[in-house]
Structures are given as structure tokens and as C-alpha cells.
Structure 1
Amino acid sequence: MADYEAVNTPMATVAATGLRKRVLNITVDEEWTANPKSYLHQTQDGTHEAVEIPSEDRQPIIDKLAQPKVLLGQWMATAVCGNDVLSSCSYSSGVVALQAGVLSFAGFCVVSLCLFMYRFVYEEVVTAIPLNGGSYNALLNTTSKRFAAVASCLSILCYMATAVISATTGVNYMTILLPNLNVVWTTVGVLGAFAILMLIGIKESAIVSTIMFFTHIITLTILCVASIIYTIKNPDIITSNFHNVTYPEVNYMGTTLKGDIWTALFFGFSAAMLGVTGFETSSNFIEEQQPGVFGKTMRNMWAITSLFNISIAVLTFGVLKMEGDDGIIKNSNYVLAQMGLVACGKWAQTLVVLDAFFVLCGAVLTSFVGINGLVRRLASDRVMPQFLIQKNKLRGTCHWIIISFFLIASSLVIILDADQTQMAGVYTYSFMSMMFLFATGCILLKLKRQDIPRQVHAPWWCIIFGMTLVFIGFLGNLLGNPKTLMYFVSYFIFVLLVVFGMLERVFLLRVLVVVTNLLFKDKAHRLPAEQVLIDNDELSKTNVQASPALEQETSKVSALVRNIKAIKNAPVVFFIKRADLVTLNKAILYVRANESTHILRFVHVYPEQTVEALETVEQLKEMIAMYDRVYPKLQLDFYSIVGEFDPVTVEWISQTYGISTNSMFL
């Protein structure tokens, strides 16, 4: 540490203000040891390493990155997420009709307006931060990791609810052709079949998704045309439905209320949000889309879902009555198939059933693929347990993710007894909560990250009005079916505990160390409670040499201590462009607040060793050395690297020092 005994901390030159550059000479007291001799803190001082990237190391990385990557065009990208969104027509029409009656179309019109505004919200965020991850990624770049983790929990629930309601609805449609099917266990079987396919290594194909998407559109078009013809030939049904209006009774906080126009509009709109669930899917694979495609994808999804949802909502009451064996209430789980039967006969019903089953199975596959990618991202970001991304040697798939997802999804099917309405409620809660958080991320992006360029700027009125509609929809589902909230909250808390247990794993391990030492310590030698734990943010001036007695490393807690050391010794990289005390301090504070490590490595990349560049390196060296003393529980290393700051350099750093790119920040 001889180099760090006198530290110069220059301030940036401010032009035309009359201020002069100040140099502070700081003397370090070598008699005071800043570093506690404990596994809880860093054990050595920060170092400086000057590195030049060998040209022979760059070429293999350049060749690897230069390999052509197949990116999705407008319609393939639309198809991948469109199957998820458009498949919801198969189950939303019946659910909305039970709440709004003949005003179902009005609910879908308001939802269409909401999505129209959210298009711009999604486009602003994604064009500013074009990375996979959806709402999690948006909040990760504007708030703390803990807040972003909440969004990730909602994303997990969305994927789970998508798989569950899609599988259940598909099986319900198949009961028309196979009446003796047990819906609950057949649904579990469908989920299990896709889990096995994922374990084998099947991947979602954009080509297959495109074929399924357009097949589904053709089927819905045939159904709509047939329903229009039937309605024209039999106008008495639609006339009767709209002239003799009786609005459905609604459940209000467990009490049945007589329906009227206001309950139909309010609860109908809330239920109609189910018809566009999956709208956020496109933002989860933005890196696989060609430049400029995302906005077109959002436009296509909005237009197609609005067209079919509103059309089917009107035509349902042109073909079917509310009451009776052929009515909507009796056939609410498979309204589209019943429309096909009445409007065009058995062949149309069979076509709709098979189409619905296959497109809904496609949505199940999308859920498995999506959850696999999301959890791998979260595990790489140290938000989910690392064992989840272990790959089996046989097929190279992440079996723990697939098996865990299957078990959780199956438990929801069994607990809810495959009740499609309750499942729809869980799905809608998750979807709308995530939509609200995404808009929150857009607001924070406008306020905190104005420097990031973006192709679209969502108007403030769009954001506020869109969030208001989403909140109203959430409130309507809460008031209309409060029992479903219990299931949503239960699963949300379960996922949240896993995530926050991971984020606070060092604290939990420390608690286990204390409890173990406490239980196996003689009572006569036990410390009073106030001495059991020492706060992380306070330095003991009298005894910094060792851990608190109950956190001492002993043979009983050696395994726990090894885990704590492994977590804390995993370094985090922060790329620094210029010598700036404020930026350095912000980076340190971010790592202290969001990461469990006590090793932070600042990396400065510069193209050549000019006088100005070397001066910047020297200034950074001195500043980081000073902060290494200011934050004694962190080890602040400094790497000055000669080279171009590009993806090749980032990958070289990752390979050379064994640090994941997910642990690197700008």
C-alpha cells in the first residue's frame, strides 16, 4: 500500500467559472488497519493492473461474434407472441360474456384503447433499452435490483398462468370430441408432456409458430364469416339479445348484485383484459428481432387482437343466446366451438376445437420456453438460485427449471380444480400488475435516464391514462372475484420468497451461522443479545480484527462460511470512462445496495497510451485508491486496459477474468 500513502484527488476542470483545479493531499494512517480479519469483509487492499489485449486473443472472439445470427422479421416476430395473445380469444369471450352480457364488445373496445396507448409505452422503453427481459429489464435500469425482482416475480406468474389456463382451455375444448376426459388430470398430463419435450431439448420454432398463427387467423376468419352469414339469416337472435337486454348478475366482494349497464361496463372491461394477456411477450425477446421490427410487432398485435376480440364479442350474441343448452352460460368454457356448431355445423365445431387445442398447446410451449429463458437470465443476475441453470449431461437442458415450473403449474391446476374462471383471474392479476410496473419503468426512464436515446417518446397523457385503465381493470377483478386474489397472492409470495431469499442469501447464511454457534455453545459462555450481530454499516473502532463471537468460523459452520465466501468473492465489474469522483461513488453505492460481493473492479479502456490517456489512468488510480480506504469493507481494484471499447473487449474481459457479462455495468 506504499503507493496509496498520499493520494491526490483532482476535480474535473470547470471552464469559464473562475474555479481552479483543487488537489487534496490525504495522509493515510498506516497504524490503523481498515480491513477486519473476517470472512464477512474483504481481506486485502485494492490493486491496480495495467493490461494490453493481445491481438491473437481478439481474433477468435471476433470470429465468434461475426457468425451470422438469424433475426426474426415482422411477421415471424408477430407470430411468436401473437399465438400467446390471440389464443386468449378462445377463453376470454365466454368469461367476458358472463360479466358484461351484450356489452362485451364495449369492454373489448376500452381494452383496445388501453393497448393503443401502451404501444407507445413499450416502444419507448424497448427502443431505449433494447434488451430481453421486459418489465424486469426496464426496472433494473431505472430502479434497484430488488424492485426489478418484483417485476420478475410477476413475469414468472404470467408464464405459469399462461401455461395453466391454455392447457385447461385446450382440454375443455377437447371434451367436446372426447366427453369422458378428466379435465384436471388431462391438463396435468398436457403440462407433463411439454415438460418432457423441453427436457428432451425441443425448442420453439418461429416457422412452426408462424404456421400455427396464420392457421388460427384463418380459422377465426372462417368462424366470423360463418357467424355473420348465420346472423344475417337469423336476425331474431341478435335482435332478441340486444332488445331484451338482461345484464348478468355479478359477484361484488362475495355478494351477488343485480346487473345493470354500469356493472356490465365496469366488470366487463376488467374481464376483457384477459383477452390481451401476453401482449408483453414481444418485449421479452427483443434481441432476437430485426432492427425496427418491434414497433411493427406491437402494431400488428394491437390491430389483430382488437379486430377479432370485438368482432367475436358482437357475433357471439348474433349466434347464441345467454340461456339454454346451446347458450353462452352453459358453454362458457368453449364458446367459439359452440358458435361453430350453431353457425355452420359439426365440421366447423371440430375445426375450431382442433385449432383451439393446437394453438393453446403452442401457448403452453411458449410458456415453457419463456420461463426457461427468464429464469436463466434471473439466475445469471443472481436473482434466482444458481442450481436452476445447471444443465444435465444427457440433453444439455436446464432440468431444474423445467421440473420446478411443471410442479408449480400442476399444483395450481389441482388446487383450483381446473376452474377456468379462477385461473383467468390469477392470470389477469399477474398481467395487469406487470403492465402497471412497465409503465412505471417508462416514467422513471423519462425522469432518470433522459440521456439515453430512443426512437419513440410516449406522451405523458398516454402513460397516465393507460396506467389508470390498468388500475381500474385490476380493481374490477379484485371487487368481482376477491377469492382469486388469495391464490394470486399465495403464489406471488412463494415466488417472492425464493427471489428475495436469493437476494438476501448472505444475511440468511449469517443468521444460520449465529444460530448454529448459539445452539452448540455452552450456556455459561453465551453472549448477551446485543453482541450477537454487528451492523454491516458500523465499524467497531475497538475491535475490527475479528468477527463477532457468534459469527466466528468454526468446524460446525465451515460449510456455511464457505458459501458466504464464495458469494462475497464473486467480483463485479464497472466500466468507467473518465476520472469522476461522483460517478465512482455512485457505482460503489449501487454495488453496496444491490450486490452481495465485496470485490468491485473498475475497468477503464483506452485506445492508446497518449499523455492525456495516461493522466486519466493516473487520476483514476488515485481516486479508486482513496475510495478503497473510504469503503474499507470493499476491495476496489482498478484495471486500465489498452484497446477499443467494443463487444470483443467485453467478451475478452469476461473470458480472461472469469466474470459473467451479467456482472458488468456501465
Structure 2
Amino acid sequence: MSAKDLEHEGGTPEESWIAIEPVPREADPAHPVDLPTFRESQSDGIILRRQRQRPEGGGGLKNVSFPSSRFLNLSRDFEFAGWGSFSKIKLAADDHAIAEEKLSSARRAKLLGQGTASALAGNDVLGGVFYTLPAVLAVSGVYSPIALFASTLTPFLWRPMMEELASALPISGAPYSYMINVTRKSLAIVGAALLLLDFTASSVVSAATAATYLAGEVALPFPTFVAAAVILGIFALVSLSGLKESARLAFVVLAFHCATMLALGVLAAAHWAKIGNTQLRQNWVQGQAPSASEVARQLFYGFCLGMLGLTGIECTPSYIGRIQPGRFPLVLRNLHLPVIVLDTVMITLVLATVPLTTLLGGADVLSTLAEVSAGQWMRRWVVADAIVVLSGGVLIGMLGVCELFKKLAHDRIVPQMFLKALSLTDGPYVPLLAFIVCNVVMYASAGGRLAVVSNMFSLVWLTVMALFPVALLLLRFNRGRLPRANKTPLSVIMLSLVATAAVFAGNVIIDPSTAGYFAAYFIGVMSVFVASLSFSSKVTLFRLNLTQIFHLLHMILYVRENEETSCIKIVHFCDEEDGIPSELEANAKILDEAFPEITIDLIIVQESFVPTNVSSSAHRLRIPTTLMFMSCPGPRAPYPVAKFGTRIISL
């Protein structure tokens, strides 16, 4: 290139370029030439730099002469960020004090034991018996016990996957929090939208079913949907009292439900023993299918709808960060095994004591069983239990959505106002208000028809359950080094995906209109999330074990594609001065030059990499830990990833 060409590019050759004598291709054996070290090459000019455009200490505009601007009539200044800087910091005493206070406050927080943690989701899981049994009976008839028993066995596929994910990433807000740590942010937002739909549909179905039971027993002075709205409002106030108090109330409600079901089971079994098998034989003869293919069809449809009785189990990972360590597998066990017994026993007692014509006529199955077995007083008891436990099912949806919105706000997907909470109880009132609006919109758009929301709910729930095997596969592929307690066989993961697809198709075949409602609600929620993404510049902080430039490049590309930011800080923790990698500063400058639209700073923190110092750095740099990204820790890492509160974005 000539001097004239160099001047045309924006400077004199003396200012812009460093001339380097080429290294001979064939060295003289008598005079061997040693290749320069990295430090020597850096100082001798082997790496070409536009040094004159980089102000000392950073700052200034990262402007260049090429390429030409895409906006011919505008200044190109807005297309280029400032130059990055290099600095070393030593954390001050007040930084350590504030960080230690935050961590101590987290350690002092009262965590849920297996009883209270099980109760939160237990009201939804075990309360599902009130709307699952009628749905299965309508399509499977006398084959309902077989179909329902088979469907309640399916969590044996999901439990090991959920346990593995929870041991690797014990972070509240799952499965969204799993997806955000193992894949792109766009796919994680899809998971968040599905999870929000699941929580919303669960609460609407629970509240509307409870209101329907109430309207069936007493004459209400207002429409049923008003009663459902009142139930939602009451439990929104309960949720504002805090997680611990809500869990205690949920435990009381679940205990009442278990006592009711036990009493009903004993009385129905006694009535069966009294009348013998006459009613069971009549129902069997009347309800037999005319062909083997019809039997298979009824069993398959019953299996598909029977999985509705498991709704609620997907909510437990959403508050896993509030559960005592090591208790999550016990929580899953406490939810799964009782529902197998409850659903199978109750459907058998119903067919043994109640005429099939009555059951298929749209009667409230369990209240009819109570009346037949013990009289009107037992019917009232069961109806009261249905109203109470189904209302309690609203609670898990509200608590789950609060944890979800908290994670979304930290990740800048929804506005920061969703982090606002009451000073007295720490109850998140903004997420609850938004959730009530979502409930009202869903119920109103369905015309107040419970059947529409219930059928759509089944598709949402199945899609959410599919997130667990997908997240586990992505974790193994993208974050394989992440330590975890157990490992699920690949065959189990693939079988769960096949089962999900088959049941999803079966529900669509039963009622094709549900697919339309599902698509409409999903697109609506996704549109809101995309519209609410913050477009202000954010500062992102990396913590890196690996300092090779290709690792840094991949991480910066992740941030550029998934975050709206114009500033990235690469932070390296180092105890000793000579422990700083020699190539780190040069690599940071190369990357700073390679991304004109992003300012890339390098900060050396003269401390060890422990959770306390990460929190101290967050205070010193005024960057929340949720905007700190790190590489995946290995199996010998001294601290679990949940202790840091950062996001994992690389292997």
C-alpha cells in the first residue's frame, strides 16, 4: 500500500501503521532465530494496532475510516462506542461488609421443608381429582381405572430428570431458569411464556372449578365468574403475606383435603362391601366397547386426559431456591405417590357404587359418590373440600408467577417495577396485579367457559413438561461440566419426549379447537414479552476461568446476540500480581477493536473468586449479579453456581 493510499484511509503512514521486517522463511542453521515470546511480540509490534486512536486510559470515540456508514446523511458517531479501559481494583471494606450482609440475609431466610414445600403444589396435584375424574370417565367409561392408573405412572419418567436439573441448577424460576443458563435467551423467553400460561391457566381452572362447585350447592346472587374472581382476589391477598405464611396455609388446606379423601374412601369402601359387586357388574356390561380398536381408543383418550391430574408437579422447580437442600426429591415423591393411590382408588370406588348413566350425565363425580355412600352430610363436606382445595390450587400459580417475574425482571425481560415489594411482608404486589390481569383476560377471552380453558390448559401443561427433557439435553450438550447429583438414562429422556408428543396429539384430536386457543394465548404472551424488553444500554460483567481469545469471542457474541448493551466488562479475579495471564490485556484490546459498537473494559480484581467477593464486586461496580455471566464450573468447583447468582453462558 502506498503512502498516498494510507493518507486516503485517514492518516499518515507514520501515524497509522508500524512497519515490520518480515521473518525469513528459511533460517540459517548456523544462526538459529528464536521465535519471540508473546510479551516480546506485543512490545515489538508483531500485533498491528491503530494505537494513535486509542486514548490512554480508555474513553474517546471508537471511530474508524471504514467501512462507510449505512446512513449517508447522519453523523456516524452513534455507530461506535468508546474505547475500553484496563484497570485494577482492590475491594474496599464497605464492599465486603455489604456483600456479607446480603449473603447472611440469604442464609438466614427461612427455607421450606419437604412438608410445606409439598403442600404448595400438593393442593394443585391432589385437588385435580375433582376435575380429572369426570373428564376421564367421559371418554373412557368403564376402562377409566386402567387409563388413569397408567397416566399417573408417567412422572416416573420426569422425576429423575427434574432431580438432575435441580441438583445442577438449584435456582428458582425453573424451567425458565434452566433454559436461560443452557441455551439462548430467545428460547428461554419461549419457556417463560409457556410457564406464565401454565400458571395462569392453572389458577383460572382451579378458581372457576371451585366457583362451579359452590354454585351447584347454593344459589349465588351473582354469576359464577364473579365468584371465581373473588377467589382469585382472596388468594392474591394471601400471597402478599409472604411465601412462608402461604406455605403454612397451603399445608392446612392440604391436610383438610387428605382427611376428606380418607373419610370418603373409607365410607365408599364400606358401602361397596354392603351392596356387593352388583353395581360394578352392571356398569361393566353397560359400558363395554364393541371392538378392540374402540377399547384402545378409549384407553388412549383416557390416558391423555388423565395426565391433567398431574398438573402442579411442574410448579415445584419454580420455587426450588426456597426449599431446604436435599429435600426436592422428597417433595416430588410426596406429590407423585399419593396421586397414584388417590386417583386410581377413587375412580374404582365410583364405578363400583354409582350407576354409569349418572356418571356420564355430567354429575359431580366425587360429591355424588359421597351422597350415595353416606348421605347429604358427606356430600356437603366433599363440596366444601372441593372449594377449599381448588382455591388452594390458585396459590401455587400465584407464588410461581412471582418467582418467574422476579427472574424476568433481573434478566431485563420485563421492567424493573416487577421487583417492587411490600416493605412489611416482602410480598411482590406488581407481579400479582399483572397476574390477576392475565387471569381476567384469559377467562374473559374464553367467554367464561371452563371447558375451553381446561382443554387449553392440558396442552400448555404438556408443553411445559417437554421443557424439562429439552433443558436436560441442552445442559448435557452445552454445560456438560456442570456438577450434578445423578444422571438420567438417555432412553428415559427420549421416551418422555415421545410420550409428550403422543399425549399432545391425543388432546388435539379430542378437541381440535384447543390448539387454536393455545396458539393465540402463546402468541399474545410472547408479544408482550418481546415488547417489554428493555432497550437501554446495560453493563454486562464476565467472570472467566479461561482467558483464551476464542472463549472471550464466543462469550461476547452471546452477549451481543442476547442482550441490549453497549458496554461489557471482562473481570478477572486474581490473588497475586504475577497470576494475571500475560495475553489477557492484549486479547481484551483486540476484542475491543473488533466490536466498534461495544465498549469492552478489562478489570483485574485483586481477590480470590468466591461468592462474597463476587457480591462485593457487584456493589463496587454497581452491576447486579444477574447481569454477571460466567463460564460453566467443573465438577471440582468449590462452590455451587447458585451461590454466585450469575448466569452460565459457555461450556
1:629 and 2:650 aligned: no
Are the aligned partners of 2:95 and 2:617 in contact in 1 as well (CA < 8 Å)? no
Aligned to 2:649: none
Q: What secondary structure sits across from 2:313 in the alignment?
A: coil
Q: Is the 8 A contact 1:184 1:414 kept in 2?
A: no
CA contact (8 A) 2:62 2:80 kept: no
User: Are residues 1:471 and 2:501 paired?
Assistant: yes
Matching residue within 307, 315, 325 for 1:291: 325
SS of residue in 1 equivalent to 2:542: strand
Aligned 8 A contact 1:184 1:417 in 2? no
1:44-101 residue CA offsets vs partner (Å, 9 max, x unmatched): 1001120111235313432442342322222222122212211111211111111111
Contact 1:328/1:335 (<8 A) preserved: no
Query: Which secondary structure state, in structure 1, belongs to the residue aligned with residue 481 of structure 2?
Result: coil
Q: Deviations over 1:199-250 (max 9, x none)?
A: 68787522222222222112111112222222222222112112332459xx
Question: 1:445 deviation in Å?
Answer: 1.5
3-state secondary structure, aligned to 1:603: strand
Aligned equivalents of 1:206 and 1:5: distance in 2?
68
Match in the other structure for 2:251: 210
Q: Given the alignment, which residue of 260, 267, 286 partners 2:301?
A: 267
CA pair 664-269 structure 1, distance change in 2 beyond 3 A: same
User: For the residues of structure 1 that align with 2:595 and 2:229, how far apart are their CA atoms?
Assistant: 53
**What is the Cα-based RMSD across aligned positions, in Å?**
2.7
Residue 111 of structure 2 corresponds to residue 71 of structure 1: yes
Work out which of the residue numbers 449, 457, 463 in structure 2 matches 1:419.
Answer: 449
CA contact (8 A) 2:95 2:619 kept: no
Q: From the superposition, tell whether residues 259 and 241 of structure 1 become closer, same or farther in structure 2 (CA, over 3 Å).
A: farther
Query: Is 1:113 paired with 2:141?
Result: no
What is the correspondence of 1:91-170 to structure 2 with a 5 Å cutoff?
91-170=131-210
* Cα pair 2:157 2:496 within 8 Å, conserved: yes
What is the total number of aligned residue pairs between the two structures?
A: 573
Alignment pair present for 1:454 and 2:484: yes
Q: Is the Cα–Cα contact under 8 Å of residues 110 and 244 in structure 2 kept in the other structure?
A: no
Per-residue CA deviation, residues 614-637 of structure 1 (Å, 9 max, x unaligned), is: 4x2x42122111110111111111
- Aligned residue for 1:175, secondary structure, equals helix
Structure 2 CA distance, aligned partners of 1:347 and 1:5? 94
Is the CA contact 1:571–1:601 (under 8 Å) kept in the aligned structure 2?
A: yes
Deviation at 1:188, TM superposition (A): 2.1
* Counterpart secondary structure, 1:49: strand
**Offset at 1:383?**
1.7
Is 1:42–1:599's contact at 8 Å kept on the other side of the alignment?
A: no
Task: Name which of 31, 43, 48 aligns with 1:27.
Answer: 48
- Which of 284, 287, 294 is the matching residue for 1:245? 287
Q: CA deviation at 1:410?
A: 1.7
1:595 matched to which residue of 2?
A: 563
Secondary structure of 2:367 counterpart: helix
1-structure distance, mates of 2:147, 2:495: 16
Aligned partner of 1:83 in structure 2 is: 123
Q: Is the 8 A contact 1:286 1:294 kept in 2?
A: yes
Partners of 2:257 and 2:77 lie apart in 1 by 59
TM-score w.r.t. the length of structure 2 is: 0.82
Q: In the alignment, which of 226, 229, 242 is matched to residue 267 of structure 2?
A: 226
Query: One-letter code of the match for 1:105?
Result: P
What residue in structure 2 maps to residue 509 of structure 1? none
The 5 A counterparts of 1:647-658 are 647-658=611-622
Higher mean alpha-carbon deviation, 491-500 vs 205-214, is at 205-214
In structure 2, the residue matched to 1:575 is 543
Aligned residue number for residue 361 of structure 1:
391
| Structure 2 match to 1:432 | 462
Q: How far, CA to CA, are the matches of 2:484 and 2:17 in structure 1? A: 46
1:376, 1:59 → 2: CA distance? 25
CA shift, 1:315, in A, is 1.7
| Conserved 8 A contact 1:42-1:598 | no
**Pair 1:183–1:81, CA change in 2 (3 A):** same
* TM-score, scaled relative to structure 1: 0.81
- Cα deviation for residue 663 of structure 1 reads 0.6
- Give the aligned partner of residue 178 of structure 1: 218
> Does 1:278 pair with 2:312?
yes
Cα 1:223/1:40, change in 2 over 3 Å: farther
Task: Return 5+ residue gaps in structure 2 as ranges.
Answer: 1-15, 19-34, 54-60, 65-74, 631-651
Picking from 340, 345, 362, the partner of 1:330 is 362
The answer to whether the aligner puts 1:639 opposite 2:639 as a matched pair is no
Letter in 1 for 2:458: T
Q: For 1:465-499, what per-residue CA distance to the aligned partner results, in whole angstroms no more than 9, with x for missing partners? A: 11111111111111111112222221111100011
Shift of residue 319, structure 1, vs aligned partner: 2.4
1:338: how far off? 1.7
| Cα shift readout 1:546-584 (whole Å, capped 9, x = no counterpart) | xxxxxxxxxxxxxxxxxxxxx12x101110124211221
In the aligned structure 1, how far is the partner of 2:336 from the partner of 2:244?
26
Q: CA deviation at 1:303?
A: 0.7
Cα distance in 2 between the residues matched to 1:364 and 1:142: 30
The Cα of 1:644 is off from its aligned counterpart by 2.5
Q: Distance in 2 between matches of 1:159 and 1:394?
A: 26
Q: CA deviation at 1:594?
A: 0.5
Structure label with greater radius of gyration:
2
Q: Secondary structure at the residue paired with 1:205?
A: helix
| Match in the other structure for 2:91 | 53
Q: Distance in 1 between matches of 2:266 and 2:79?
A: 70
- Farther-moved stretch of structure 1 (220-229 vs 268-277): 220-229
Contact kept in structure 2, 1:41 and 1:598, CA below 8 Å: no
Aligned counterparts of 2:465 and 2:569: Cα–Cα separation in 1? 36
Amino acid at match of 1:644: S
Deviation, structure 1 residue 40: 4.8
Give the direction of change, closer, same or farther, for the CA distance of 1:259–1:169 in structure 2 (3 Å limit): farther
